[in-house]
Structure 1
């Protein structure tokens, strides 16, 4: 990459997921998946992984549909937030304006990509503090204790868009994101892009929408400490009747060890472990995967299952 990296955004902060089976989804994310409940109100549950420093990284909201309501990124400073707001306002993309925030963070600036996904930028946040000894970690540099499948932190999400190249322009313009890997299709279109705002390999992916939907979610991912956590999680999911869609296995793109399941409302959720892979080079050039590369399947030969290309939330009505 020839342009100077933008450091205005610190990291992916949280995702608001919609569910039409609120109690079942909440039970899954807390009892089975292993997230912690920070707070709850009439419409939403504020969840976090055991080493997430923020009060909430997954806001689970009661709805008549499924999918993602918004994606939140934390700015690196108040001044950086102001710079990004000005960049968004000058970009020509849809501006939704400022909101007051919620239980987990202060005022936030909202805007929308061309495909209907709502993003927000904020700086003021609520740090999580363990309230009792059962949730207090033994080590001072760990946010809280852990049990169960034990996802450690929010890692990334994958959104669907009908034009990935245009979504790339949106991410680079509004968030200052860099592309670390991409899929170049034979027809000239970009089939997928993996973005980062810091030195992680990626915090958001966008892949091509094949079902004609709009503003859809492909999946949300939490990272585990090690691969063995994912293997144990597979048994936990099996024991609890959770639909395991694919994995455990290793992705070719980004090299993450993965396991995909559907939570009770149908939203796809991943557990992943990417080891210590970071993008440290300031002049990193995106790794380009061809259509022929992708037809080989995942890293160790597992073929990508059909639902990975068709299932997203909210679901798209089948054509009659």
Structure 2
């Protein structure tokens, strides 16, 4: 089993695709409170950061014909750690390529998980220096807190949709060194969802079964808030500004995360979460497995998982909903 702090230090950033770049940028800056930190020369990519991130960007928005996720970047804990993980991916037959195509970062090794999601590993990273007007009052804080929007603190996790949860979770665990902390096992033995961590957080990456049979799709990305009250305020702000609320605020049974799910204008699902008080500090943490019957009970306080949670993913694909299928068997 990989140590709690292994060769991957943390989730670095995510690149989202959007068919409405301007509207998506407004959502992330005006509603969530991220700061724009540059654009590509052609204007097709916008780099955004949360106020507590030390790196150049936490999120890349890329203009595209549809929604979805392109790249998830993971920072290694050293140059040697990066080399070990590259060797490990190539040893299991998942070779990649080296690129230098993002500002503030050195070389990235780009490969894919078994489902086809693009994963980039890197070490060299430029520390952010706040310009005048964004300098914080405390020297141990990268940037001043935003005075508008939700003011999310950091990118928290990514939830991928996958045809085979077990094989993808196995890749992240065995090759990249994450630890699985919780999972859902269906009555037929199939793993329907799995949560994994690279850090002392309870999870950084999630895989959820894609009922459409498609590959490489996204369920959601999540941003952490300072408090639960921030999520309640986010719900009010969404109501006032026309942001679509899918479900919440409520509390997950799995991982106990307080949550709100909304859609950004490009169609991608975004979670606002407050998992900051729950850490996995035990080096011998036992994998918690939830049964299909236990998931029928819904969320922590009884809220049933809504149908769209299992039918909406990006990019969108046609889906036929089987009314005989229990939609509470997996959630995240």
Range class of TM-score, shorter chain: over 0.9
How far did 1:101 drift? 3.3
Counterpart of 1:29 in structure 2 is 28
Counterpart of 1:236 in structure 2 is 237
The answer for unaligned runs of 5 or more in structure 1 is: none
Measure, in 2, the Cα distance between the counterparts of 1:273 and 1:306. 23
Measure, in 2, the Cα distance between the counterparts of 1:219 and 1:229. 19
Counterpart of 2:214 in structure 1 is 213
C-alpha deviations, 1:95-134, integer Å up to 9, x for none? 23111131131111011112110101000112111111x2
How far did 1:68 drift? 0.4
Counterpart of 1:40 in structure 2 is 39
Match of 2:96, SS? Answer: strand
The normalised TM-score by structure 1 is 0.96
Equivalent residues in 2 for 1:8-23, closer than 5 Å:
8-23=7-22
How far did 1:39 drift? 0.8
How far did 1:213 drift? 1.9
How far did 1:31 drift? 0.8
How far did 1:186 drift? 0.5
Equivalent residues in 2 for 1:153-302, closer than 5 Å:
153-302=154-303
8 Å contact from structure 2 (residues 13, 58) kept in 1: yes
Measure, in 1, the Cα distance between the counterparts of 2:90 and 2:130. 38
Counterpart of 2:117 in structure 1 is 117
Measure, in 2, the Cα distance between the counterparts of 1:72 and 1:211. 26
How far did 1:67 drift? 0.4
Equivalent residues in 2 for 1:75-154, closer than 5 Å:
75-93=76-94, 95-132=95-132, 134-145=133-144, 146-147=146-147, 148-154=149-155
What is the CA RMSD across the aligned residues, in angstroms?
1.2
The normalised TM-score by structure 2 is 0.93
Distance 1:23 1:111, change over 3 A: same
Measure, in 1, the Cα distance between the counterparts of 2:107 and 2:23. 30
Measure, in 2, the Cα distance between the counterparts of 1:10 and 1:3. 12
8 Å contact from structure 1 (residues 88, 173) kept in 2: no
8 Å contact from structure 2 (residues 195, 206) kept in 1: yes
Greater displacement, 240-249 / 163-172: 163-172
- Runs of 4 or more, structure 1, over 4 Å off, are 2-6
Measure, in 2, the Cα distance between the counterparts of 1:105 and 1:193. 30
Measure, in 1, the Cα distance between the counterparts of 2:2 and 2:49. 34
Greater displacement, 142-151 / 244-253: 142-151
8 Å contact from structure 2 (residues 4, 200) kept in 1: no
Match of 1:81, SS? Answer: helix
Give the number of aligned pairs: 316
How far did 1:3 drift? 6.0
How far did 1:5 drift? 5.1
C-alpha deviations, 1:42-100, integer Å up to 9, x for none? 2111111111111101111111111000110000000110111111110112x231111
The answer for unaligned runs of 5 or more in structure 2 is: 321-332
Measure, in 2, the Cα distance between the counterparts of 1:112 and 1:57. 20
Measure, in 1, the Cα distance between the counterparts of 2:236 and 2:32. 12
Measure, in 1, the Cα distance between the counterparts of 2:245 and 2:294. 25
